[in-house]
Each structure stands twice: as structure tokens, then as C-alpha cells.
Amino acid sequence: MSAPGLGPLARLGVAARRGFGRLTPEPFVITVGLGALVGVAALLHLVAGGASAGAAGATLLGRWQGGGGLWGLLAFAMQASLMLVLGSALASAPIVRRGVERLATLPRSGRGLVAMTAAIAIAGALINWSVGLVAGAIVARTAGQEARRRGWRLHYPLLCAAGYAGMMAWHGGLSGTAPLKATTEKDMVEVLGAELAARVGTIPLSESLFGDLNLWVSGGLLLLGPLLFALLTPAEGADPDPAAAPAHLPVHEAVEPAPADRLEAIERSPIITWLLALPMAAALVHFAATRGIAELDLNTVNLALWLLAMLLHGRPHRFLAACEEGIRGCVGIFLLFPLYAGIMGLMSASGLSQRLAALFADVGGELFAVVTFAAAGLLNLFVPSGGGQWAIQGPILCESALARGLSPADAMMAMAYGDQWSNMLQPFWAMPLLAITGVRARDIVGYCALWMALGGLWIVACLFVLV
């Protein structure tokens, strides 16, 4: 007999977290194993194509450790690390922390707290993927502290999974890589080649992000996510093995000793903050006036995080102390991003990524969008980059869509949905959230898998009906 207050979905959530928790290795182990699997598959693929084992091995090894392999994502790794450090610093600013703490007091139950976290994460991701990821992590961490303060027996990893929910909606939002790149002739030629780009033309946002298909898909995910996570939350006292949030969070409001000398007083002066804040603010205003929110990129988000965190801490030494706290969580990014870049290099050098995409392109018209979605979800496990997937699948999808009389915009969005869908099983994107919240991947993956299943059903239904 089930415990009172433990409904069917809550029981399923408890079973999923226990099952996946026992079976899911740490992200580093997953990435090393995935790299080994891809390396063997790439070698066999080249040998089957006529290359000798020695030549194929040398080609793959050179690509794996070269600029297009291990070190191909160094710039992105730095961007992601800055996002984590600056987002953590912003969260620890007294006014932000108090504001989020007040927000966390609004729900009257643990279910409301979890639903609110999921709603903020998904809404944030539809604005920008990094905003959703950082905001979801910050709210989840603070909500966990609020549940602990109130004495609610809530499973903290469920809150953290809700904070990650936005990564299954981001590619249908304003930072969606493929839709944004498809709006200009230059980018279309770069991805599709001149001849195919001339036949496809550009794809305006009115046909992609603001088209009927995406409004239904993304709007549905925004509603379904909070509902699912609320239903996954057992009633108060019914959770058989709740886990409370960590007892303490970094706080940078300690009493500070007076400056030792005049130089130290200058170093602590808010004047230093404003010397950097003014040009940063001017740069953001210029970006908004000339390019607008639709072209928001990771660098601009990081600039905004930097500016806000620095201003809200007020003095340089307080801001630096907050950043030092946040940088401790960057180890996973530093190690996993190069390994995934190496996997992407192996996939590209061997032709496996193009072969995988092409295998799904011969399906009939009625199933084309759904199979495109599934193919993109599978490919995302090996190439966790929306732009990378568009570069690989874009030419094949657009050619196939034109041959079937289908809209290239719909084919592109089907790919975008697949790319975001399997993020729920992809530890690559979860690293910043795991660092901020302090949970392990195995703690949240069971809940993420259930969200992936429900969201996938909704996306497939929309693709069947609207494409």
C-alpha cells in the first residue's frame, strides 16, 4: 500500500530517482565511456570505407587532440565558466539573495515551490538559455533553503531538476541557435552552401520562433513543466526518503575590518567599480539599440551578469570574494568540455555525424518531422551543440524537406526540438547547475527522464498535427 499523499506520479518520481540514482555514473565517467565508444565506432566506420586501420587511427588521433578536437571548445568553456562564476556572484549579492528568498516564501506548499522553480527555469530559458539555467539553479538552491527553514520534508534534488527543466525548451526561445542563424543569407550560405541556400532562402522568425508550431510546442512546455513537477512532489510528510538542501550558502556580508592604509581604501572604493561599470553599461545599451534582444548571445549575457553582480556587491573586494566562491564549481566545465569537443571531432572526422543524420532523412513525408526530431535527440548525445547540429543536419534536412514539399522552417524546428529534448540525459549542459546547487547528476536524472518523456510526447503530438 502506498503512503498517503503519494499519488501515482509522485510514486513514479520516487521510483525513477531511486532507479536512475543506482545506475547513473558520474558525468566524467559517462563522458570518458562515450568517447571510447565513439572512437571505436569512428575507427570501424573509416576502415569499412576502405582506409587502413593504421591510417584511420592516425587520422582520428590527430583530429581528437587537434584544434578541432579536444581544444575546439576552449572559448565556449571560458564563456560557460564565466556564466557560472558571475551567476553565482549575482545570486550571492545581498539584495538578490533577499529578493529570491522573498520569492521563495510565496508558495504555500512544497508542491508550489517546485512548480514555481520549474516555471521560472522554463520562462527564463525561452528568453535565453543561460538565463534560464542560472536563474533555475539560483531559485532551486534558495527554494531548498526555504523548505529547510519551514521544516518541509522535501526532496531537494527534485527542486534542482525543476531548475534544469528549461534546458528542454531553450531552442524554441529567443536564443535558439538554428532559428537565429537561418534569418540571414550569409549564415544560410555558410551552413547550406550557395546553391541550396538560394533555393531555401532565409527563414524569418515569423515562420520559426513565432510560427504556430513553435508557439504551441513552447507554450505547451511552459505549462506542462510546472504541472508535472508539482505532481511529482509528494504531499508534505509522504516522501519516503526526503533530502534537505545544504545547511549553509555562501554569504558575503561579514563584518569587514577597516582598511589598513590609504592604498587599501582606494582598492575597496566603489569608484573602481564605477570605472568599469560605466563602459559596460554603455556597451549593453549600444547592443540593445543596434541589435535587440532577438540577437542576445552568451557574451552579452555574461557582460550583463558581470555588470549587475559588480554593481550589487558595490565594492570590488566584495565582488571578487563572491567570484572566488563561484569559481570552485568550474572543475566539471574545465574537464568535460574538452572531452566533448574531442567526441565532436571524432564524429566529424569519421563522417559518423553526417551518416547518422542521413540515415533518418529517407523516411516518408508524414513521419519526416518526427523522425528528424528523434535523430536530432540522438545526435545531441554526441554533439551537444545547437549550432553544431544545425551545421550537420541543416543541409540534409532542407534538401529532404524541399524534395517532399515540406517547409524547411518546420524541418529546422523539428531538429531544434530534438536538440533540446535529450538535454535531460546530457550531463554536458547540467554542469553549471550541478555546481551551483551542489547535487550530483545521478540525483536529478530520474526526474529529468520523466520530464523528457512527457515533453517528448507533447512535441511529437504537435509535429504530427501541425506539420
Q: What is the mean pLDDT of residues 143-153?
A: 89
pLDDT surpasses 70 at 408: yes
**Picking from 99-113, 197-211, 361-375, which range would have the lowest pLDDT averaged per residue?**
361-375
- Look at residue 360 in the predicted model and tell me its pLDDT: 63
pLDDT band at 252 (very low <50, low <70, confident <90, very high): very low
Where are the domains positioned within the chain?
Answer: 8-41+63-248+327-466, 268-326
Q: Please give the pLDDT value at position 398.
A: 87
Q: What is the tens place of the pLDDT at every residue in 2-19?
A: 455 577 888 888 888 888
C-alpha cell of 383?
A: 554533439
Residue 174: its pLDDT value, please? 81
Specify the pLDDT at position 373. Answer: 93
Contact 9, 228 (CB under 8 A): yes
* Cβ atoms 232, 158 nearer than 8 A: yes
The per-residue pLDDT for range 128-145, each reduced to its tens digit, is 787 788 889 889 988 998
Query: Residues with Cβ < 8 Å from 53, sequence gap 6 or more?
Result: 43, 47
Lowest mean per-residue pLDDT among 271-285, 355-369, 451-465:
355-369
Q: Which residue has the higher pLDDT, 221 or 258?
A: 221
pLDDT category at 219 given cuts 50, 70, 90 is very high
Average pLDDT, the chain: 85
Distance (Å) of CA 357 to CA 38, 202, 391: 15, 22, 11
**Model confidence at 402: pLDDT above 70:** yes
Instruction: Determine the average pLDDT of the residues in 23-50.
Output: 86
Percent of the chain whose pLDDT exceeds 70: 92
- Grid cell locating 224: 506542462
Q: Among residues 448, 406, 465, which one has the least CA distance to residue 161?
A: 448
Q: Write down the pLDDT at residue 218.
A: 97
Q: Note the pTM of the prediction, 2 decimals.
A: 0.80
Q: What DSSP line would sit under 396-450, residue for residue?
A: HHHHHHHHTT--HHHHHHHHHHHHHHGGGG-HHHHHHHHHHH---HHHHHHHHHH
